[in-house]
Amino acid sequence: MSDYAAPLDDIRFTIDGLVDLDGLTKLEPYGEIDADSVQAVLEEFGRLMAEVWAPTNVTGDTVGSHMEGDGVVTPEGFKEAYQAYADAGWGAVPFEPEYGGGGFPWVVGIAMQEMLNSANMALAMAPLLTQGAIDAILFHGSEEQREVYLKRMVSGEWAGSMNLTEPDAGSDVGALRTRAVRQDDGSYRITGQKIYITFGEHDLTENIVHLVLARTPDAPTGTKGISCFIVPKYLVEEDGSLGERNDVKVVSLEHKMGIKASPTCVLAYGDESDGAVGYLIGEENAGMRYMFTMMNNARLGVGVEGLGLAERSYQQALDYAKERHQGYAPGAARGEKSLIVDHPDVRRNLLTMRSVTEAMRALAYTVAEHIDIAKHASEEADRTEAQELVDLLIPLAKSWCTDEAERVTSIGIQVHGGMGYIEETGAAQHYRDAKITQIYEGTNGIQAMDLVGRKMPMRAGGVFTDQVARMRATVTELEGAGDGLAPIAEELAKAVDATESTGRWLMENGMEDPVVALSAATPFQRLFALTAAGWLMGKQALLASRRLDAGDGDSSFLEEKLITARFFARNVLPEVHGLVGPATSGKDDLMGASF
C-alpha cells in the first residue's frame, strides 16, 4: 500500500474558499480563530495522520482486534497511535473551551475527520464514536454529568460508545427490549444485550462511557418509550477516580468484511448481577429525541468516512498508475512500455475518482459550515436558514458520499488491474472498508425515506425550492464567467431543471400516496445529490477562475481545479437524467412484483 499524504492544498481550497471561513471567524465563539491558525492545526494534524496513523492501517486489516478474557486487544501500534492523538489534544479541537476544547469551528473538525478516516478508518472509529457520546451528554446531560464525564472524554482520556442496536431491533430501534429499572438512589439497573457496538470494549483508554438506549417498565411502546442512559465501564467515585467495574461485558466480536481492527462488540448488561449501573440522561422516554439532536453530526461523519476512503484510494491508484508500465499509449514511441497513467481509459478512471472525491469534500464541508452557522449566527433568520439547509442536505451527504466511496474504491481496484484483486497491494481494503458506510447510521435507503418523508415537505416544499434557487443563482454566475465555464453552466442548468421538475412531481404525487414517495425515494435522492454536487463543483470552478484572474495562488493547481470541475459536469453530472425515469415511474411495477 502506498503512503498517505494529507491533501492539505485541496482541504485549504475548500475550507478557505468554498466555505466562508472568514465569515465563520466572525461568529461569536470563533473570534480568536483565523485562517492561519486553522492552517497550522491542519498541517500539524496531517503530519500525525501520515506519519503515525496511516502506517497502522494495513496491520489493522490483516491482524484485527481480538478478545482476551473479558477484554479486547487492538492490533500492534494502535494504542501508541491513539495515545499520540490524545496526548496532543487533537480530539478536543472542535469542542467548547469550558470542557477543555479548542473552540474551533465544526468544519475544522470535519476536515480532521477526513484525514482520520483516510489514515486509518478502523482506528478513527474510536474518537468519532466518542464525539457522538460527547454531543449527547453536552446537549442533554445534567451539569453534574457534564462535569464528571466531558472533560476526560474531550481530552481523549476516556472513550465513548453508542448502544442502540439489538438482535431484533436494528433500524427499527423502537423494538428494543433492553430494560432499565429505577433505584432508590436515582440510578437505574440496566439489563439486556446490544449488538454491533463499535469500540464497545478496547484497550485504548482506561474507561469507556457507554450511552445506552433502554426502556423503563412502564414506558410506552415504540420509539416514544425509549430513554437514554450513561453506563460507564468503570463507575466513577466522587473524587473523579475510577471505582469498581460495572456489569457490562463483551460477549463476542463480529467477524467483518472490512474495518477489521474496529472491534464490533456484542455487549451484555447485568449478566452477573441485578443490572449494570446506569444514569438517566434528561427525562425518561425522551431518548430518541436526544439521539436525533446528534444525528446530523453522526450522519455527516459517516459521509466523511466515505470521503476519507475515497481520497486514500485515489492517492494509491494515482501512485500506481505513475509507476506501472504496460502497453503503448497513443503516440508513444516504441521502446520502453508506457506508464498506464498515459492511457486514456486509465486517465478517465483517475479523473472520475478525483472529481467525485472533490465533490464529496465540497458537500461535506458545506454542510459542516452551515452546522456552525445554525448554532452561532447572531440573527435568528440566518440560524433558521442554515439549519434548514443542513436538514435538507444531510441525507444527501451521508448517502451520496458513501455510495460514491464504493464507486471510487472500486475504480481504485480497477486501476491496479489484477494486482488490485490481490490483497497485498491494499487496494481492496479500501473497498471492503467502504461498504459498511452505506449501511450504518441509517442505511442509505433510510436516508432516502428521511429525505422524501421529512425533508422535502419542510415549509411546504419551501426549503427545497430555496435550494433550487441557490443552484440556479450559481448557473447564472457561471453563464457570465466566460467560455471556459460555459460547459459547466449548461450541464448544471439541465440538471437543476431535472431536479426541480422531479421534485415537483414527487411532492404532487408522493404526498398523496406515501408508497409512491417511498418508491421514488432512492433514485430521487441520488438525482438530487448529484445536482447538489454539481452545484458545488460549479462554485469550485468560479472560485478557481476568479483566483486565476486575480493572480491569487498557484496557477497550475487552479487550472487543475477547473479541469476537474468541467470533467465532473460533462461526465458525472449527466447521470442525473438517467434517474428521472426511475424517480417518476410510480409504484405499480414495484409493488406488483411477487417475491
**Residues noted as catalytic:** 441
Per-position b or e across 58-75, b if 16+ CB within 10 A of its CB: bebbebbbeeeeeebbbb
Per-position b or e across 269-282, b if 16+ CB within 10 A of its CB: bbeeeebbbbbbbb
Residue by residue, what is the 3-state secondary structure of 410-467?
HHHHHHHHHHHHCHHHCHHHHHHHHHHHHCCCCCHHHHHHHHHHHHCCHHHHHHHHHH
The Cα-based distances of 568 to 58, 359, 523, 548 in angstroms read: 31, 8, 19, 20
d(CA 72, CA 250): 8
Find the helix or strand (DSSP H, E) in which 73 lies.
strand 71-73
Evaluate whether 353 touches 313 at the Cβ level (below 8 Å).
Answer: yes
Per-position b or e across 231-242, b if 16+ CB within 10 A of its CB: bbbbebeeeeee
The label of the residue with cell 487533537 reads 90
Evaluate whether 537 touches 359 at the Cβ level (below 8 Å).
Answer: yes
Evaluate whether 281 touches 229 at the Cβ level (below 8 Å).
Answer: yes
The label of the residue with cell 467515585 reads 237
Evaluate whether 91 touches 85 at the Cβ level (below 8 Å).
Answer: yes
- The CA radius of gyration of the chain, in Å to the nearest whole number, is 24
* Grid coordinates of 219: 414506558
Task: Name the 3-class secondary structure at 155.
Answer: coil
